[in-house]
Amino acid sequence: MQIRFLGQSAFLLQAGDHRVLIDPFLQGNPLCPVTLEEALSWKVDAVLISHAHGDHWGNALDFGRAGVPVIGTAEIGGYAQQHGAAQAVGMNIGGTYRAEWGSVTLTPAWHSSSFPDGTYGGMPTGLVVEMGGKRLYHAGDTCLFSDMRLIGDRGLDAAILPIGDHYTMGPEEAARCLELLRPRVAIPMHYATFPPLTGDPQVFAREGQAFGADVRVLNPGDTTEL
């Protein structure tokens, strides 16, 4: 699996000929290294949404209106369908969606969720994605919670965690998650995009290494491989 960081919480995952986009905040993201037009040309298999806040929902409808399945909670799937994403999929925490490209399971996250227009977005979630024989956990926006140990029991090749502080946990708390999740690789996200997001990825890297993780700090546009 190749993992490309697109700034904030947006990632492109690729395994073989399959591509999945997570939290596609492209336009309006000052760190995003690609244009929306370029991203639409990737012909992704699915767009996964952790929750409905604008810096995660982002350009989901642009992909959905182009026929790409937009996958998230029942509220996210329903909202997407009502706004022209005919192939959108609504599910809920604990459920798994399976397709030719792989699968995604929704997990809990401690946060809030509403669309930019104020519509309720359902429960915020994390995402456990399986592609190309690898298993990746994208935590969405959250704080540390003890049930992360159960997510880690699945056996994780990678965990992507928010570290920005203010709206999510900061780098020290995010590093403590690694004790519970026990991933082989850890990647920080959701930092430096806007002034309140002051979490330092180098602090996360230093603290996280104490829990045995290979911490990889990616700049927007960088790709790493599992």
* CATH classification of the domain holding 22: 3.60.15.10
CA dist list (Å): 54 to 50, 117, 184: 11, 9, 30
What residues are paired with 137 via a beta bridge? 128, 159
Is the residue at 226 inside a domain?
no
Q: Tens-digit pLDDT profile for the chain (226 aa)? A: 999 999 999 999 999 999 999 999 999 999 999 999 999 999 999 999 999 999 999 999 999 999 999 999 999 999 999 999 999 999 999 999 999 999 999 999 999 999 999 999 999 999 999 999 999 999 999 999 999 999 999 999 999 999 999 999 999 999 999 999 999 999 999 999 999 999 999 999 999 989 999 999 999 999 999 9
Is the residue at 50 inside a domain?
yes
Is the residue at 223 inside a domain?
no
Q: How far apart are CA 155 and CA 143, in angstroms?
A: 20
Domain containing 26 equals 2-218
**Three-state SS for 180?**
helix
**Domains in the chain, number:** 1
> Who contacts 78 (Cβ-Cβ below 8 Å, separation ≥6)?
88, 90
Whole-model pTM: value is 0.98
Is the residue at 54 inside a domain?
yes
Which residue do the tokens 């456990």 mark? 128
Is the residue at 177 inside a domain?
yes
Is the residue at 8 inside a domain?
yes
Q: Quote the tokens at residue 113.
A: 């969720």
Is the residue at 224 inside a domain?
no
Classify residue 17 as exposed, middle or buried by CB count within 10 Å of its CB (0-12, 13-18, 19+).
exposed
Q: How far apart are CA 123 and CA 13, in angstroms?
A: 24
Is the residue at 51 inside a domain?
yes
